[in-house]
A and B are shown apart, each in its own frame.
Chain A
Amino acid sequence: MSEFRTATLPNGLQVVADVDNRGYSAAIGYFVRAGARDETDAQSGLSHFLEHMMFKGTATRSAADVNRELDELGGQSNAYTSEEQTVYYAAVLPKYQRRMVDLLSDMMRPRLEEEDFAMERHVILEEIAKYEDQPPFGAFERAMECCYGPRGLGRRVLGTAESIESMHVDTMRDYFRTRYRPANMVLAASGNVDFDDLVDQASQSTADWNELPLPAPLPPDDDSQLPAGIALDPRLNIPDATQAYRVTLSGGPSMASADRFAMRLLASIIGDDGGSRLFWDLIDTGRAEVATMWPQEYADTGALFSYLVCTPDQMDANIRLMNDAIDFVVREGLKQAELDQVINRTVAGVIMSSERPAQRLFGLGSHWLCCREHLSTDDLLDSYRRVDIGQIETMARSYLCTDATEVIASAETAQTPDEPSLTP
């Protein structure tokens, strides 16, 4: 069985681990409370831009050294940014634990040099352009902006081309000093981990992390104006899109709420990729390419997303079908057999994904950073198994009957798919 361990370092840094010494690998990560919702207009996109800059070298390592060492230790390493967190992680063989902790900890104190900043700006702009070319062509971001407003939870993780182009390196440095302090961070590990050694090593390598000067807070944003590059039109015209894309967003339980398990199961019953109500009504019949629903939990609130992709001429009819399926659950509830089926599917999914330490790490670190709480795999399984029909029906009444924010992205004039002939 795995063992949960936790420690608080003298500097306030939390260290947590789900230790299972039977594993072939150890996963290690820093979870930082630095996400889009922590930014002001002048900082828009900085959490993510900074994530890239953390690979650009430290006091003792060049950027090339960092990337080289990450590769030298094998395994998988990467970083990602969301609305609430930035995460740096690696899965390595247990013999490399010490070297990886040393490297990741060192990376948390980056150089942030102006020349690197200027170069990486291009990469960020390319990343923004890349997502502009991909379905649903900005509809998720627009739904968040329309629902939460263009600031806070509605702020774009990547920022906008305008905010990135006008960003100054000193703004990033100040943001780093504000966010990357031990009180805002968790060092998490899972799998075949030597926890005592992890704590010892982290105590030494992070000892001076509170010595960063704390910058003065920025003036608040002017709420009377939209941030640069932001629009709030719920209709996006994508001239070259073949399909039409609809995103809706309404409320749900937060990451700390005990209701979250029932809500996940409810969303699964209605909108999972396979075997859900929407699957049988819209996907199995070929009416839509995608028709799905899922909850998203944040620290203090929750969201329920739905996503529908189909041909533009089918959109209205499919929205009606989707709403009918949702109304039917609210009105008629569901049978025990359907709930049992989704619990069985979900529980098996948890068991399967828990076998890789890297996958356990994300749940462990992000949940601890947010809620100072840990559920073991078995606790998690129990939480799903305990959900009853009454709770599901309560969730349906609480969250499926509210008005949702709706955004549709499509071409105003229909496109005809046409691949040119294959000639030399």
Chain B
Amino acid sequence: MGYQQLAASSITIFHEGLVASSTTVFTRDSSPRPLRYAQRLFSFQPGVFALSSIDLTAASSPVQTRRLANGMTVLWQPMPWLRTAAYTFWMPGGVTAELDGIDEDEEADARCGLSALTVEMVQRGAGAYNSRQFVAAEDNLGITSNGAASTSMTGFSAAMPADSLVPAIGLLADQVRRPHLPIDQFEDAKLMLRQEMLANQDEPTQRLMRRLRQRQYGRALGRSAVASELSLESLSMEHVREFYLEQYHAGSSILSIAGNFDEAAVCDAVDAAFGDWKTGSWGGLPAAEPIDGHEHIELPSSQTHIGFSYDNIPYGHPDYFIMRAGVGILSDGMSSRLFDRVREQHGLCYSVWASTHSIASSTDREGNAVPATAAVFGYAGTTPQRAQQTLDLTIHEVQHLCDDLSEDELERWKVRIQSSLIMEQESAGSRAGSMASDQFQLGRVMPTEELEAAIESIQLDQIKQYFQAHTPQSFRIVTIGSEPLAGGSVWSETNEAPGRGTAPALSTGDNDE
């Protein structure tokens, strides 16, 4: 589960028959931060309306795949019981592509936010429409769309009533192939980026997790999508055009479609929209270069916000589901270790969680393989006087996961996964997203039967052996609050043994920028 999704507050627009959950992506159609301003509903556990977010997928009918000559992979799966349809479109080349051809740190800083700025600019008019006409066309078709840049890709997604899918594919093609990139709106777009940067300052949890990610993956791979004062001074329309020309193409792109649609009509629409688009190559991702040590950012906040991370294995690793079951026992649900032992039994915090994150492998311009990489990220928020105890106890639970594993815990986790897989069938949007994610990370969409079999076959002993062999030893910790944490067994332990953990140094994960 993306940590931002988990961290998102439980505030929701709440009218009869219409509950719009909060979103956190930087997009033109909604606020760049969670929709925290609708009715305030105070929930028992955080992240309440973030339905279905386990990084697994399933399907009741086979996923169809086609590869266009220009390198675009098209995936589709009919869900004829729905009244809606959705697509996810990913082009490799996101935040880290801002570094293409750049050597100097200073120049890298000067390009912060370029991928997000390009997403913003392509949404300011395309094809036959100026930006207002484009929004009107989408509204009249009932299309809800988003665009966002994340670590390894630029993505556009949309959900809509079933009948609107074919015209929606045409609008997507307009946007990514024929954007106007209007120069007279460039300064406005930069100001939007500036608002996003300032907003980030006022959100301690997001600020914390962004910082932690930079330390976990390093300056290049952990690069933030948010602009800086320096980049807002230096980014030009020329940078945007160049980025657009280099990164927006069909090569290695993925278009996944799910919902109620006529397969032949949709295939024709995809051919017409994208069949003659240019191809291109992707320069791959930078390698992870973790920055060791801990960090405290001083802020006179009510709570001390604690973030921790450690190296992990990526999605696609043979032991992935065994590891994921362990992290699930640690943090998925109200009977999970962290919720039960840190919050329920000790009352130390309201929010505490840990989640996995992986970044796919890639090949750089020289043809060298860059391995996939992954981490576990965790968070706890608590008042300063209890922060040290919270950190120590949380890390203790992470490190001692395999001491007392029980069959019940594993069974509960399996039921959770199975339920979420089945419930995913109720949403075209989450289905399309899962398909694209699988394709990007594994190079294929894992069939339901295979996934169910993989989950079902996990044995408690395997989890125990895995965590005994890969007990997290070395944590990266960032805190934001009024006072730094000092002393404590965890801190001295990690201070004596800085460096990588014992798990294979892998990292990434995407689409939750």
A78 touches B349 (CB 8 A): no
A72 touches B412 (CB 8 A): yes
Most buried by A among B203, B211, B335, B427: B335
Chain A residues with Cβ under 8 A from B350's Cβ? 123, 126-127, 130
Please name the residue on chain A nearest to B480 by beta carbon: A133
Flag whether A390 is at the interface (Cβ < 8 A): no
Flag whether A336 is at the interface (Cβ < 8 A): no
For residue A280, give the distance in angstroms from its CB to the closest CB of chain B. Answer: 7
A362 touches B14 (CB 8 A): yes
A353 touches B18 (CB 8 A): yes
Number of residues on chain A facing chain B (CB within 8 A): 110
- Residue A273 contacts which of B35, B81, B299 (CB distance < 8 angstroms)? B35
A285 touches B426 (CB 8 A): no
A63 touches B344 (CB 8 A): yes
B30 touches A273 (CB 8 A): yes
Q: A71-B332, A80-B10, A353-B17 given; name 12 further pairs at CB < 8 Å.
A: A48-B42, A67-B340, A68-B335, A74-B419, A80-B43, A119-B345, A127-B42, A286-B189, A347-B142, A355-B84, A422-B214, A423-B291
Q: Kindly identify, within residues 331 to 376 of chain A, every residue whose CB is under 8 Å from any CB belonging to chain B.
A: 337, 340-342, 344-360, 362-364, 366-367, 375
Chain B residues with Cβ under 8 A from A123's Cβ? 343, 347, 349-350
What is the predominant secondary structure among interface residues of chain A facing chain B? Answer: mixed
B229 touches A417 (CB 8 A): yes
A285 touches B191 (CB 8 A): yes
Chain A residues with Cβ under 8 A from B204's Cβ? 133-134
B16 touches A363 (CB 8 A): yes
Flag whether A91 is at the interface (Cβ < 8 A): yes
In the complex, what distance in Å separates the CA atom of A353 from the CA atom of B52?
Answer: 14
A-B contact pairs, 20 of them (CB 8 A): A51-B44, A67-B333, A74-B420, A75-B423, A79-B44, A81-B43, A91-B423, A129-B383, A134-B9, A273-B35, A274-B30, A283-B31, A286-B195, A297-B15, A353-B20, A355-B84, A355-B426, A356-B426, A356-B427, A424-B291
Q: Kindly identify, within residues 161 to 206 of chain B, every residue whose CB is under 8 Å from any CB belonging to chain A.
A: 161, 164, 187-199, 201-205
B340 touches A64 (CB 8 A): yes
Interface size class of B (residues with CB under 8 A): 35 or more
In the complex, what distance in Å separates the CA atom of A264 from the CA atom of B188?
Answer: 29
Say which one of A7-15, A17-25, A168-176, A200-208 lies at the interface with B.
A17-25
A70 touches B334 (CB 8 A): yes
Q: Kindly identify, within residues 17 to 52 of chain B, every residue whose CB is under 8 Å from any CB belonging to chain A.
A: 17-20, 28-33, 35-45, 48, 51-52
B301 touches A79 (CB 8 A): no
Flag whether B61 is at the interface (Cβ < 8 A): no
Flag whether B381 is at the interface (Cβ < 8 A): yes
Contact flags B54-84 to A (C-beta < 8 A → 1, else 0)? 0000000000000000000000000001111
Most buried by A among B13, B31, B299, B332: B31
B383 touches A349 (CB 8 A): no
- Residue A82 contacts which of B16, B41, B381 (CB distance < 8 angstroms)? B41
